[in-house]
Chains A and B, each alone.
Chain A
Amino acid sequence: MGAGMAGLTTIEVSKAEAPPSLRRRFGLWWSWNWLGLLPFVLFIIAFQLMPALSIVVKSFQDLNGNFTLENVNSLNDPLILGAYWSSIKLSFLTALGGAFIGFFVAWGVTSGYFPKWIRSAILSFSGVASNFGGVPLAFAFVATIGQTGILTVALKSIGINLYPDFRLYSFNGLVIVYIYFQIPLMVLIMAPAFEGLRKEWSEASENLGASRFQYWRYVALPILFPSIAGTFALLFGNAFGAQATAFALIGGGGQYSVITLLVGSQFSSDTFNNPGIGNSLALGMIVVMVVTIFIYSFFRRMSSRWLKVGGE
């Protein structure tokens, strides 16, 4: 206590030069108004932070609550690593495909390439299709390129046999289906970014003698790059966390699995003879998502220097 009092007096003396103490800084930051956020914050704690915290803590606990690394170590299993790897591969490929195709569609929508009615039709369809995931989307593709799908049958009648070489219930099948909700998401986010490209920039570069190629290479693409990279991260996370579509196509079991299916299977059965492993499986997913969202927000901050993206 005495030492504390002495500390306080020295701060009093050197107040003029010293940076504000921790307590003073807290005093400036704190106000009773924060209490108004309590209901919202409590809700977030109950339904987001508690479950996340429980996963983190229990990943490092054995059944008796003692600290252990066993749960995390047992992730080193060919089946589990394989599931992580296919999820990452699937998310990366569909984010790449979705970003590439969506980029050109967003360009077409904003550049005046399409007539106006097509433009607004594409934008509103994108709003719908980016939400069109899960079970209905899987069924739509079963009706299209499943064994008895409309396209499968139509191609067969002109002599092209999709089956047995192609299977919808496979990695390639998932790529084809996932791209369906990845492209519209890219279009929705990139269209405002394209609109943020000022006409003056293109005119200025034209006046300085730049070709169209040079304008895109040295002006437009560098400005758009953070938006593209940020959206790519978002698409990656979008695919990485998707469970319903994969479940409707592949089902809970099966030889081929993505990580969301593996986590989902931990609810009903205990595939790995270790109840703790579900936690570390989920923890691994959280780690991947945290890295992804970190990359996303990094690029988002970078892009807001040039453009206002995201309806703000």
Chain B
Amino acid sequence: MSRSLLRFGWVRQVVLAVFFIAVALYFIIPLYATFRFSLQAKRGELGFTAYANVLQASDFAESFSLSLQTALLTILVSTLLIVPTAYWVQLKIPRARSLIEFFTLLPFVIPAVVLVFGLIRAYNGTGLTDSSRGIYTLMVGAYVTLSFPYVYRSVDNGLQSIKVRTLTEAAQSLGAGWFTILSRVIFPNVWVSIINGAFITFAIVMGEFTIASLLSQPTFGPYLYQLNSSKVYEPSALSLLSLGLTWLCIALIQLLGRRSGQSRTTVF
């Protein structure tokens, strides 16, 4: 560090230091303020009352478990769709790769609010919009497509690092069918990539607000928003808990990446 610092004149060093400190403060102060704010629930003293209130509320538990269930379902569907598809593309039709990549990037082109609007209008009057089960299906479907860019990229990277063709031919020569190859050869070999994509998906779904609230689903995001109209300090406590959950997911991804020796997965 000191060596490279010698290259910069001291004026430039001061400017850089001030700049980086300002940036650091910009990121740290809101987190500190949220924390400090969340401790003020009891008048005149600092304590974890807001956290206790939030965690004991029954509607918190309900919304949180609905989000949990939705996230797990999303991960399941997304993995079952992406792993065979990515495997098939690598093995049989590599020329389809750019097409699949294009499809997985569609969620970036169609913003969530537009997607929900389109879904409601496209399936207006069908079972998907008439029943609560149908609307829940729409929500999970929307989340699955949101997860595609992350899950596909992660799984595709994982498949590239193993010898797909050799493994497949070896399994075939031992008499394995496609189902056995996928479930007992491919899945176990890319499980780190799957978990990787799963954690990002988990973090996204747990905190998602737009799609859930526009479809009137009582998940965690809308619950947090509604809490703000009745409570002052509890929303801060819950925001921090939600951030902590995201942090945990990212930390686990990095831990997994380090242990398996895979390169760090970037967002894009």
Using a CB–CB cutoff of 8 Å, the interface residues on chain A facing chain B are: 29, 31, 33-34, 36-37, 39-41, 43-44, 46-55, 58, 101, 104-105, 108, 111-115, 123-125, 127-137, 139-141, 143-144, 149-151, 179-180, 183, 185, 188-189, 192, 212, 234, 237, 240-244, 247-248, 260, 263-264, 266-267, 278-279, 282, 285-286, 289-290, 293, 310-312
Contacts and interface: CB of A to CB of B under 8 A. Distances in A.
B85 to A, nearest CB: 4
Contact of B209 (A48, A248, A278): A248
Interface residues of B, number: 88
Contacts of B240: 136
Interface string B102-126: 0101111111111111111111000
Contact of A47 (B142, B213, B246): B142
Given A247-B209, A282-B118, A134 B221 contact: yes
B48 interface: no
Interface in B239-268: 239-240, 242-243, 246-247, 250-251, 253-254, 263-268
Interface string B193-225: 000000010011001111001100000010011
A127 to B, nearest CB: 4
Contacts of B254: 124, 127
B191 interface: no
B268 A135 contact: no
Nearest to A260: B113
Contacts of B117: 51, 55, 263, 266-267, 278-279, 282
B16 interface: yes
Given A44-B106, A311-B153, A311-B265, A267 B120 contact: yes
A286 B120 CA distance: 16
B30 A144 contact: yes
B30 A48 contact: no
Contact of B246 (A111, A131, A241, A243): A131
A289 B109 contact: yes
Nearest to A33: B92
21 contacts: A31-B92, A33-B88, A33-B93, A34-B93, A39-B84, A44-B106, A47-B145, A104-B16, A124-B254, A125-B27, A139-B224, A244-B210, A248-B209, A263-B113, A264-B113, A264-B210, A267-B214, A285-B111, A285-B113, A293-B109, A312-B157
B209 A310 contact: no
Given A135-B239, A248-B209, A144 B221 contact: no
Main DSSP-derived SS at the B contact region? helix
A136 B243 contact: yes
Main DSSP-derived SS at the A contact region? helix
A112 B93 contact: no
A187 B114 CA distance: 28
Given A247-B209, A311-B265, A263 B114 contact: yes
B267 A40 contact: no
Most buried by B among A47, A55, A124, A185: A47
Nearest to B178: A36
A311 B264 contact: yes
Contacts of B5: 113
B207 A51 contact: no
B82 to A, nearest CB: 7
A47 B119 contact: yes
